[in-house]
Amino acid sequence: MPLYDETRDTRDTQDAQDAQDPQPAPETGETGTLHDLDFDRASPLDVAGELLALLRETDTEPRPDDQLEALALAVSADLPVLLWGEPGIGKTAALTQLAETLDLPLTTVIASVHEPSDFSGLPVVGEDPARHGVPMAPPDWAVRLVRAGRGLLFLDELSTAPPAVQAALLRLVLERRIGALQLPPGVRIVAAANPRSSAADGWELSPPLANRFVHLQWTHDHEVVVRGLGGTWPRATLPRLDPRRLPQAVDHARRAVCGLLAARPGLVHRLPTDEARRGGPWPSPRSWDATLRLIAFATAAGSSRDVLSLLVRGSVGDGPGLELLASLDRMDLPDPEDLLADPAAAVLPERGDLRQAVLDGVVAAVRGRPEKSRWDAAWALLVRALETGAPDLVVVPATTLATLRRADWDVPEAIERLAGAVALSRRADRTAARVAAKAGR
């Protein structure tokens, strides 16, 4: 149905009146202009175009986004990234925003609609194949990337690419080669995929291809969606690397990864037995190298633990990733010997689990070298922990420390200050046990 229904005669009459008495230009709204459109002469599609233009006019506001920060750090580290998420949750929009922010031209390639030769190169027969061979010609989008010298290559719908296409993508993702063409260092690669349950004729990713990516789970924030549909979308602030922290970041990353793998050699390479898990992140020398790089970049950028967790678990998987995060926490803990040397000046972690680990480490140090002065210092440290944190955290260390007393050691006054917390905790445990016993009857 047309947006207006005047007859031709009516239009002609109105045109004559307009010529004698021109009408003022349409008023403009605060959010945009109507391009001085003459609605009396406009076609229905012109008016529809104006409405579409108004709908596209939105504002942005700065908003922290852990997902986008993790994506930006992985791209900055020159690692291929694979975004996993349900259809329609904004993976492509996030890539578009990232490309604009990084000032990189975006090239989108739908992997599932291409043949293997589109990525491995098309054979082109020259004048003398026996003498010069048959070169493998790259597709036009690859040539454009090489000419530009930089860009963001977006491989979309990766989980719908058949195994033959996935095999052809191996060299592109790892070596950045397409046929005889080498992509320049300024090109970054990001892919997107839907879970097999929601992909059109989806395939599991092959283990060699999956192990080349940093896997990020992409989800939506309903508050962001609601506010965006109201006209204001978030504008993520991308991380900036601190040049002064680069050497320390590299040393920190190497100590973290090498320390864990030295203690847990079985994590160096562990191919999952389940086929579905093989299509995700899993530990290998290649993915540990990527993890080391990601830790260095996140440290230099001062990223949060949540961002670091996304990157580490997206590279080597949840299990090894969580072990590495725990190892990183222990690296930042104070040395028990330093705490025993000056308990009055000790600075204990705020997080309860880290504080518990520090106190347990101090007690273990006293057990390893039991001396009266060290035993007294440990009690003084427990008193400080009682004064600056949750009382229940000192119960187990205090109980264990009491068992280390030698017969000729006098009981320090500090024990009296801890006795109340220990007794209260024990009464609470007995009460909880009685409640549980009654509930089980």
Taking the C-alpha atoms of residue 209 and residue 206, their distance in angstroms, rounded to an integer, is: 5
100 lies in some domain: yes
Average pLDDT in the 285-300 region? 97
* 202 and 265 both lie in a single domain: no
Question: If you average pLDDT over every residue of the chain, what do you get?
Answer: 82
Residues 252 and 145 in one domain: no
Residue 132: band (very low, low, confident or very high) from pLDDT cuts 50, 70, 90: low
Q: How confident is the model at residue 437 (pLDDT cuts 50, 70, 90)?
A: low
**What Cα–Cα distance (Å) separates residue 2 from each residue in 6, 38, 43, 46?**
10, 16, 9, 12
Parallel, antiparallel or unpaired: strands 81-84 and 106-110? unpaired
Looking at 65-69, 79-83, 114-118, 435-439, which range is the least confident one? 435-439
Is residue 87 domain-shared with residue 159, that is, in the same domain? yes
In this prediction, residues 24-40 reach a mean pLDDT of 53
Distance, in Å, from the CA atom of 253 to the CA atom of 259, rounded to the nearest integer, reads 10
Q: Is residue 32 part of a domain?
A: yes
Residues 98 and 211 in one domain: yes
**Same domain membership, residue 420 and residue 435:** yes
Residues 399 and 255 in one domain: no
The residue out of 174, 207, 235 marking a domain boundary is: 235
Residue 272 has pLDDT above 60, yes or no: yes
Alpha-carbon distance of 295 to 309, in angstroms, equals 10
- The answer to whether position 384 is within a domain reads yes
Which of the four pLDDT bands, split at 50, 70 and 90, describes residue 37? low
Q: Note whether residue 55 is domain-resident.
A: no
Identify whether 2 is part of a domain: no
Looking at 210, 235, 260, the residue that finishes a domain is 235
Checking if the pLDDT of 28 tops 70, the result is: no
Q: Which residue range is the domain that position 385 belongs to?
A: 336-439
Query: Can you tell me the distance from the alpha carbon of 424 to that of 434, in angstroms, rounded to the nearest whole number?
Result: 15
As a whole number of Å, the end-to-end CA separation of the chain is: 74
Give the per-residue pLDDT at 282: 96
374: tokens are 């060290």
Cα 360 to Cα 354, 395, 398, 400, distances in angstroms: 10, 11, 9, 9
Residue 45 lies in a domain: yes
Residues 225 and 346 in one domain: no
What's residue 2's pLDDT?
39
Number of domains in the chain: 4
Q: Are residues 320 and 187 in the same domain?
A: no
Question: Does 1 map to a domain?
Answer: no
pLDDT of residue 137: 81
User: Please, which pLDDT band fits residue 356 given cuts at 50, 70 and 90?
Assistant: confident
Band (pLDDT 50/70/90 cuts) for residue 428 is very low
Q: Find the mean pLDDT for residues 403-407.
A: 87
Q: Is residue 297 part of a domain?
A: yes
Top-ranked range on mean pLDDT: pick from 150-164, 177-191, 288-302: 288-302
In this structure, are 323 and 340 located in the same domain?
Answer: no
pLDDT at residue 319 tops 90:
yes
Does 425 have pLDDT greater than 80?
no
In angstroms, the Cα distances linking 72 to 76, 80, 252, 262, 344 are 6, 11, 21, 30, 43
Pairwise CA distance, residues 417 & 402, whole Å = 14
Residue whose tokens read 């009654």: 438
Q: How high is the pLDDT of residue 12?
A: 45
Q: Are residues 408 and 432 in the same domain?
A: yes
How confident is residue 106, by pLDDT bands cut at 50, 70 and 90?
very high
Indicate whether 428 and 305 sit together in one domain.
no
Q: How far is residue 304 from each of residues 249, 253, 295, measured CA to CA in Å? A: 14, 15, 11
In terms of domains, do 271 and 415 share one? no
* Interval 195-226: pLDDT, tens: 866 655 668 889 999 999 999 999 888 888 88
